[in-house]
């Protein structure tokens, strides 16, 4: 389905057309599954399956009142919902194990162009650090979220955030450096 058709389905759904919502979810499901697989592949021994991550994320999307501009915006919000589901899942696991065996991930996906080593981070520590970054530099935090959790390319991020691609690059460099310092 084309981007324009997805955008039309989004707008029809926002106007109350439940059939459009069903068509939208069918059309986007494979893309969201790929996004979930990419996110979960960063985990070492997770118990959350991609289908469960997508389904829970879609349930949270249904409960939100977001105004989707287009396909890219929808995917960005879905990615943030996936982040929320993943963090909640890991919190529950960590609480059950009293913090033992907390999942690790890398920020390498967030900036593959740079030659820095892949550093493993506790997902929950990363979540807290991203929240701190969002208080200081919301756009930089959004850039990391959309890159890592959304799997978006810099041009897509620029479109969603309404900035230029070089601005996305600068924000990404700043955010990665800040997070690396915070999480060491």
How far apart, in whole angstroms, are the C-alpha atoms of residue 86 and residue 56? 10
Collapse the DSSP code of 102 into the 3-class scheme (helix H, G, I; strand E, B; otherwise coil) and give the result: coil
Q: 77-107 burial by CB neighbour count: b if 16+ within 10 A, else e?
A: bbbbbbbebbbebbeebbeeeeeeeebbbeb
pLDDT tens profile 128-146: 888 899 999 999 998 988 8
Task: Answer whether 0.75 is exceeded by the pTM.
Answer: no
How far apart, in whole angstroms, are the C-alpha atoms of residue 173 and residue 59? 33
What integer pLDDT is reported at residue 99 of this predicted model? 47
How far apart, in whole angstroms, are the C-alpha atoms of residue 80 and residue 61? 10
How far apart, in whole angstroms, are the C-alpha atoms of residue 108 and residue 16? 40
Number of domains into which the chain is organized = 1
Residue 166: pLDDT band with limits 50, 70, 90: very high
Structural domain boundaries enclosing 108: 3-183
Neighbours of 143 (CB within 10 A): 32
């Amino acid at each position: 389905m084309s981007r324009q058709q997805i955008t039309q389905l989004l707008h029809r759904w926002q106007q109350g057309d439940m059939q459009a919502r069903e068509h939208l979810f069918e059309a986007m499901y494979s893309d969201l599954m790929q996004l979930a697989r990419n996110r979960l592949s960063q985990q070492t021994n997770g118990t959350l399956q991609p289908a469960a991550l997508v389904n829970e994320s879609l349930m949270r999307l249904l409960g939100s009142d977001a105004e989707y501009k287009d396909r890219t915006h929808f995917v960005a919000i879905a990615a943030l919902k996936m982040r929320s589901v993943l963090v909640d899942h890991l919190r529950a696991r960590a609480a059950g194990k009293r913090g033992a065996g907390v999942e690790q991930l890398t920020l390498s996906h967030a900036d593959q162009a740079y030659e820095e080593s892949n550093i493993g981070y506790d997902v929950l520590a990363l979540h807290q650090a991203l929240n701190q970054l969002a208080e200081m530099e919301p756009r930089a935090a959004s850039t990391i979220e959309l890159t890592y959790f959304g799997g978006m390319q810099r041009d897509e991020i620029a479109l969603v955030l309404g900035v230029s691609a070089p601005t996305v690059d600068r924000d990404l460099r700043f955010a990665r450096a800040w997070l690396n310092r915070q999480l060491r």
